[in-house]
Amino acid sequence: MSPRSKLVRVAVPVPLADAFDYLVAAGDALPPIGCRVRVPFGRGERIGLVVDHPATTDVAAARLKTIGAVLDAAPALGSELLASLRWAAEYYHHPVGAVLSHALPGPLREGRAIDEPPEPSWQLTELGRGVDVARLPRTARQQARALIALRETALTASELDAQDVAAPALARLEAKAWIEPAPPRTPAQADPRREPPGREPELTADQRAALDEIAATQGTANGFRAYLLHGVTGSGKTEVYLRLIAAQLAAGRQTLLLVPEIGLTPQLVRRLRERFGEELAVLHSAVTERQRFDAWRRAYRGDARLVVGTRSAVFAPLPSAGLVIVDEEHDPSYKQQTGFRYSARDLAVVRAQRLDVPVVLGSATPSLETFNNALQGRYRKLTLPRRIGSAGSPSVRVVDLNLHASRQALSTPLVAAIGQHLTAGHQVLLFLNRRGFAPALFCPTCKSAEQCRRCDARMTVHARAGVVRCHHCGAERALDWACGTCGAERIAVGAGTQRVGDELAALFPAARIARLDRDSTSRKGALDAVLNDVETGNVDILVGTQMLTKGHDFPRVTLVGVLNADQGLFGTDPRSHERLAQTILQVAGRAGRADLPGEVVIQTHHPDHPLLACLIDGDYTAFATLALTERREAACPPFAHLALWHAEAARREGALAFLEQVRLAADAQRGAVTVLGPAPLSMERKGGRYRAQLLFRSADRAPLHRLVDRTLLAVRGSPAARRARWSVDIDPLEI
Ligand code: ADP
Ligand code: ZN
């Protein structure tokens, strides 16, 4: 290699690899770090990202290949984002090429240009302006919504989609010549729909204090600082975010706002759009790739100064960042559970640090990690202890299921309370973390329940669909009431949301009942339709799963029932209490907003459990303090750091053999790190595969990461590793 040849190190999205060195052809300019390049790889070609300009290489000159086309004039990933991603690749022990490629929108991964023309907007035609929307048929609701929205300004398909207008409705409008493509929008035209400033509510004293404290601790510089905004549901956290965002916009800086998967409802998007209009770019998995690409590019160019999205939006480009916000920071959907297993909440803090801007983590029920960081003084805690309006906190009552009769998970006192609230003209919300009709199909003669053939689990009865279904692998069979072994008539045991809905319909025939779970919302638009019906008062009783707990604002709900609090009381996972407390307080927070006092009824067989005592007082701080003491004694996070090895294989020995090898490799050099396992999972077989796990635990992070690295080196590529499907999860959520 001649001393004047130029080298680049390129991260390529392939497994088990870091980055590779390539030559730049003589006479060509050195592509800047962060740019995409085509490179020869194996027998084909890949698109990789330049991560370094090394002076020398270990690769023999004869084997060194030359890069192909350079795809970007300016870096696709800016220096901060690139550095954060490289940090993440190391921290989560995931190949850097895969991590970098994960952060790029699909079209860029495929080699398309950043400056392709953006998604076109639609505008009304003269004909469209003349349409009397009120006279459209009821089946044309989406078209009507589009016509109304487009009266104010031209909108892109993705913006219309965020208002629940899907592509087929647009096609019909275009066919009628009511809408037409609009001329391209320039950034200068932004903001036609910005809400007049007068409509912001007057801040409460608590909100003011929180904002003042941020202003005081930030001073004039916008440097890094982490805040926990701990505010009970309905205390006005979102309004605090809006004010912080407005201040950043005024200063010409960008804000990244992360929300949980289900939190990105039309309600929130509408609220943001009303306040901030065209500044908004929405990044989430429900929009099309094309729309996501356009939103990403608006963020990349700095045109979108408010970037809102779910987990993966943490990788958004922020060339002029001023602020990062993570709403409902405790939400498990921030953790990616497959492939690159990152925590978007934690990466948001890392990015804020590198961007040198403040980060606000908001929640009514903060994760114990964040709560502890605030206790230790690493994060500054801001508190909103009261709800907005005169409703005050809901009153909480426990119904002891040992004393009261119940049918289909509805106890007599709860049924009486539902009747009272319905009579008063209010709405009722019932939480049960179990979808379907019944969790078991039981034969009284054989004394056995119908099992999934591929999982160690019972089949759930879905009576309306006429099937039994496995909620773990999705397997489905026709529902046969006759026992396959003895022919006896079988019975559905227990109650899921569907059965509770049926029972309610029998008890309250005049009530309008809706369900909110994965089954009832699998159709596109169904979730928004249910939420909208509840919001507009077209539903009296809403029965739902975990989906109920996330950030929806239902102003007329006055009664919340938790049908089975016991599901989380005796779980084996160290986090099960935290999850239960968060779920109960979040769902209870839906009761009695605005000016209607709320009531919460919790059904349990264990009314004296100390956890429930904290929750009855609605005191998350008391719970968190208690739970942190337990965690410290049990050497659990945040007082220990974990890496979880998971393996699965078609045969039991396959999973265990690999983990035994991990254990052997680790034991030889584990130092102060504890190695626990391997052990089969409590539900060992899922989808026909046997599953097992092994845990590394350490009081300090550094030795844990060193041990993971060394163990990976030792076991990767071994025959046992090839026979099992395996992963390593840093800071796992579930054990
Ligand atoms: P959180 O995010 O803490 O659940 P929100 O910010 O959504 O709370 O506020 C709850 C309700 O109170 C919303 O309907 C919101 O519009 C309203 N609200 C928030 N702040 C104020 C305020 N300062 N004055 C009047 N209403 C407010
Ligand atoms: Zn199954």
pLDDT tens, 460-489?
A: 999 999 999 999 999 999 999 999 899 999
236 lines ligand 1 (CB under 6 A): yes
182 lines ligand 1 (CB under 6 A): no
Q: Which atom of ligand 1 is nearest to the CA of 327?
A: 2
Q: Which atom of ligand 1 is nearest to the CA of 204?
A: 23
Averaged pLDDT of the chain: 90
pLDDT exceeds 90 at position 618: no
Mean pLDDT, range 85-97, rounded to an integer: 96
Strand 225-231 and strand 358-363: the pairing is: parallel
Environment class of residue 658 by beta-carbon count within 10 Å: exposed (0-12), middle (13-18) or buried (19+)? buried
| Cα 276 to averaged position of ligand 1 atoms, centre (Å) | 17
Query: Model confidence over 404-450: pLDDT tens digits?
Result: 999 999 999 999 999 999 999 999 999 999 999 999 999 999 999 99
pLDDT exceeds 50 at position 549: yes
| Cα 380 to averaged position of ligand 1 atoms, centre (Å) | 22
**411, 404 Cβ separation under 8 angstroms:** yes
Q: Catalogue the E-assigned strands of 232-347.
A: 254-258, 280-283, 306-309, 321-326
238 lines ligand 1 (CB under 6 A): yes
Query: Model confidence over 129-177: pLDDT tens digits?
Result: 999 888 888 888 899 999 988 987 788 887 788 788 888 999 999 999 9
pLDDT given at position 193: 46
310 lines ligand 1 (CB under 6 A): no
Q: Which atom of ligand 1 is nearest to the CA of 231?
A: 3
pLDDT given at position 192: 45
Q: Point out the ligand nearest to the CA of residue 211.
A: 1
Mean pLDDT, range 513-533, rounded to an integer: 87
CA dihedral for 175, 178, 182, 187, sign (positive or negative): negative
Banded model confidence at residue 559, pLDDT cuts 50, 70, 90: very high
Of the listed ranges 4-8, 207-211, 266-270, 683-687, the least confidently predicted one is 266-270
Would you tell me how many other CB atoms lie within 10 Å of the CB of residue 351? 27
Banded model confidence at residue 195, pLDDT cuts 50, 70, 90: very low
pLDDT given at position 262: 67
Q: Point out the ligand nearest to the CA of residue 241.
A: 1
| Cα 398 to averaged position of ligand 2 atoms, centre (Å) | 35
| Cα 234 to averaged position of ligand 1 atoms, centre (Å) | 6
| Residue having the nearest C-alpha atom to atom 6 of ligand 1 | 236
Amino acid at 430: L
pLDDT given at position 392: 74
Closest by CA position to 712, among listed 729, 692, 698: 729
Please, what is the end-to-end C-alpha distance for the chain in angstroms?
51
265 lines ligand 1 (CB under 6 A): no
pLDDT given at position 570: 79
Q: Which atom of ligand 1 is nearest to the CA of 207?
A: 23
Would you tell me how many other CB atoms lie within 10 Å of the CB of residue 183? 10
The residue among 286 and 291 whose pLDDT is bigger is 291
pLDDT exceeds 70 at position 676: yes
Q: Which atom of ligand 1 is nearest to the CA of 233?
A: 4
Q: Which atom of ligand 1 is nearest to the CA of 241?
A: 6
Q: Which atom of ligand 1 is nearest to the CA of 232?
A: 3
Rounded CA-CA distance 290/228 in Å is 35
388 lines ligand 1 (CB under 6 A): yes
Query: Model confidence over 233-259: pLDDT tens digits?
Result: 889 999 999 999 999 999 999 999 999
203 lines ligand 1 (CB under 6 A): yes
| Residue having the nearest C-alpha atom to atom 18 of ligand 1 | 236
Environment class of residue 60 by beta-carbon count within 10 Å: exposed (0-12), middle (13-18) or buried (19+)? exposed
365 lines ligand 1 (CB under 6 A): no
Site to probe by mutation for ligand 1, drawn from 388, 553, 554, 593 as the one with most ligand atoms within 8 Å of Cβ, is 388
Q: Point out the ligand nearest to the CA of residue 203.
A: 1
Q: Identify residues whose C-beta is under 5 A from ligand 2, the ion.
A: 452, 454-455, 470, 472-473, 475
Give me the helix-helix angle, 237-250 and 205-218, nearest 10°: 40
Q: Which atom of ligand 1 is nearest to the CA of 388?
A: 12
Mean pLDDT, range 289-296, rounded to an integer: 84
| Cα 458 to averaged position of ligand 2 atoms, centre (Å) | 8
Banded model confidence at residue 2, pLDDT cuts 50, 70, 90: low
pLDDT given at position 573: 82
| Cα 604 to averaged position of ligand 1 atoms, centre (Å) | 32
**263, 334 Cβ separation under 8 angstroms:** no
pLDDT given at position 220: 73
235 lines ligand 1 (CB under 6 A): yes
| Residue having the nearest C-alpha atom to atom 5 of ligand 1 | 236
Mean pLDDT, range 318-344, rounded to an integer: 96
Site to probe by mutation for ligand 1, drawn from 230, 237, 238, 325 as the one with most ligand atoms within 8 Å of Cβ, is 238
pLDDT exceeds 60 at position 8: yes
Site to probe by mutation for ligand 1, drawn from 239, 365, 553 as the one with most ligand atoms within 8 Å of Cβ, is 239
**115, 76 Cβ separation under 8 angstroms:** no
201 lines ligand 1 (CB under 6 A): yes
| Cα 589 to averaged position of ligand 1 atoms, centre (Å) | 13
| Cα 244 to averaged position of ligand 1 atoms, centre (Å) | 15
The residue among 577 and 694 whose pLDDT is bigger is 694
What are the helix and strand counts (H, E) for the chain?
A: 22, 32
CA dihedral for 17, 18, 19, 20, sign (positive or negative): negative
| Cα 411 to averaged position of ligand 2 atoms, centre (Å) | 31
Buried b (16+ CB within 10 A) or exposed e, 146-164: bbebbeebbbbbbbbbbbb
Q: Which residues contact 724 (CB under 8 A, 6 or more apart)?
A: 647, 648, 649, 654, 655, 657, 658
pLDDT given at position 190: 43
Mean pLDDT, range 574-593, rounded to an integer: 86
**Among 19-28, 551-560, 687-696, the range of highest mean pLDDT:** 687-696
pLDDT given at position 593: 67
Of the listed ranges 46-60, 570-584, 688-702, the least confidently predicted one is 570-584
pLDDT given at position 187: 44
CA dihedral for 374, 379, 383, 384, sign (positive or negative): negative
pLDDT exceeds 70 at position 453: yes
Of the listed ranges 69-73, 500-504, 613-617, 685-689, the least confidently predicted one is 613-617
207 lines ligand 1 (CB under 6 A): yes
| Cα 528 to averaged position of ligand 1 atoms, centre (Å) | 21
The residue among 387 and 224 whose pLDDT is bigger is 224
Q: Tell if the pTM clears 0.85, that is, is over it.
A: yes
| Cα 243 to averaged position of ligand 1 atoms, centre (Å) | 12
